[in-house]
């Protein structure tokens, strides 16, 4: 994918045609890593005020200062909505942050992880040990493969599938299309739940309505959650969720005091609050007509 972002006078500015006319800039102190992998340009920066920052093809994936929000919400919203998540699939997220969060759930027995770019994992292990600790989990199996191709081979296997994708430009594009979602659904067991990186209802109306339409068509229960991340454009990001049974908007398992103490953003209150959408977004989603297709429900 073409990289439009720039470094000027010690400031990194993220520029992307997907959010034209708006750019987030962070002051940087050092380029720690910069190399093209087989799939994308991987850069790691030391920022002045936000810790290390991972950038793929010029797009900010995370900073150490606020990564906890995205990882906690994308992992714990679907996991706490499921009554007993044992078999988990995580697609994308070579930094390991989602794995770190999934690993906090004692009821989880197996975690399959599929990532297309092995170099992201290597760079993260070198520079982001506080996220890459997710790779030390003994329940984890790592598959280096294309997420879409891989999921199409999996049937009736998982309780929760989490898709930690980059944006729908470059290698992540296919992960925003209907055949991928059909594959996710077929890979779920009875009562399974999917949660995917759901972009922004401010910046990408077409992309978000398309995701909501696909999940409304395919799943019995559909919902959209969002949360605050200062270092993503617009300062927020969404999750698109689909479920073959369980309700999504409330946690259905209690969180222990010990578990809660380890988190910084997710809590039962924010789980519920994250589904309360601004009025314009409610209207956007309300008018999406669904053609429910209830095949392969496990």
- Contact string (CB under 6 A) for ligand SPM, positions 158-177, x = contact: ------x-xx----------
Q: Which is nearer to ligand SPM, 69 or 186 (CB)?
A: 69
- 57 noted as active-site residue: no
**Which candidate in 66, 112, 159, 164 is catalytic?**
164
Q: Which of 58, 85, 97, 103 binds ligand SPM (CB under 6 A)?
A: 97
Phi–psi pair at 43, nearest 5 degrees = -125, 140
In the region spanning residues 180 to 199, those forming contacts with ligand SPM, defined by CB under 6 A, are 197, 199
Q: Which of 43, 57, 72, 95 binds ligand SPM (CB under 6 A)?
A: 95
Q: Which is nearer to ligand SPM, 55 or 186 (CB)?
A: 55
**Residues in a beta bridge with 59:** 56
- Contact string (CB under 6 A) for ligand SPM, positions 44-73, x = contact: ---------------x-xx-------xx--
Contact between 98 and ligand SPM per CB under 6 A: yes
Whole-angstrom distance, CA of residue 124 vs CA of residue 128: 5
**Rg of the chain (C-alpha set):** 18
CA distances from 175 to 96, 160, 161, 165, 296 (A): 19, 16, 13, 7, 20
In the region spanning residues 11 to 40, those forming contacts with ligand SPM, defined by CB under 6 A, are 19
Whole-angstrom distance, CA of residue 139 vs CA of residue 132: 15
Phi–psi pair at 161, nearest 5 degrees = -120, 130
Q: Minimal CA–CA distance to 117: which of 207, 50, 38?
A: 38
- Report DSSP state, residue 6: E
Query: In the complex, which residues of this chain contact ligand SPM (CB under 6 A)?
Result: 19, 59, 61-62, 70-71, 93, 95, 97-98, 164, 166-167, 197, 199-200, 203-204, 232-233, 237
């Amino acid at each position: 994918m073409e990289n439009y972002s720039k470094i000027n006078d010690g400031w990194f500015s993220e520029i992307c045609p997907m959010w034209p006319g708006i750019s987030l800039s962070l002051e940087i102190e050092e380029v720690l890593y910069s190399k093209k992998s087989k799939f994308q340009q991987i850069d790691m920066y030391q920022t002045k005020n936000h810790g290390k920052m991972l950038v793929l093809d010029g797009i900010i994936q995370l900073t150490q200062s606020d990564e906890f929000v995205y990882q906690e919400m994308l992992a714990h919203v679907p996991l706490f909505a499921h009554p007993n998540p044992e078999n988990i699939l995580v697609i994308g997220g070579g930094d390991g942050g989602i794995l770190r969060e999934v690993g906090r759930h004692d009821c989880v027995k197996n975690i399959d992880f599929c990532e297309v770019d092995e170099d992201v994992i290597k760079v993260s292990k070198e520079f982001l040990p506080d996220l890459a600790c997710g790779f030390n989990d003994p329940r984890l199996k790592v598959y280096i493969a294309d997420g879409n191709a891989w999921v199409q081979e999996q049937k009736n296997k998982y309780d929760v599938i989490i898709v930690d994708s980059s944006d729908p430009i470059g290698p992540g594009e296919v992960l925003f299309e209907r055949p991928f979602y059909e594959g996710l659904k077929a890979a779920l067991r009875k009562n399974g739940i999917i949660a995917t990186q759901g972009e922004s209802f401010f910046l990408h109306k077409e992309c978000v309505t398309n995701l909501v339409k696909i999940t409304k068509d395919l799943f019995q229960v559909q919902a959209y959650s969002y949360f605050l991340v200062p270092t993503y454009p617009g300062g927020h990001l969404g999750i698109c969720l689909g479920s073959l049974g369980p309700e999504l908007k409330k946690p259905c398992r209690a969180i222990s005091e010990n578990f809660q103490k380890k988190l910084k953003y997710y809590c039962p209150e924010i789980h519920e609050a994250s589904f309360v959408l601004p009025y314009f977004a409610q209207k956007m989603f309300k008018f999406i007509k669904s053609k429910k297709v209830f095949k392969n429900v496990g």
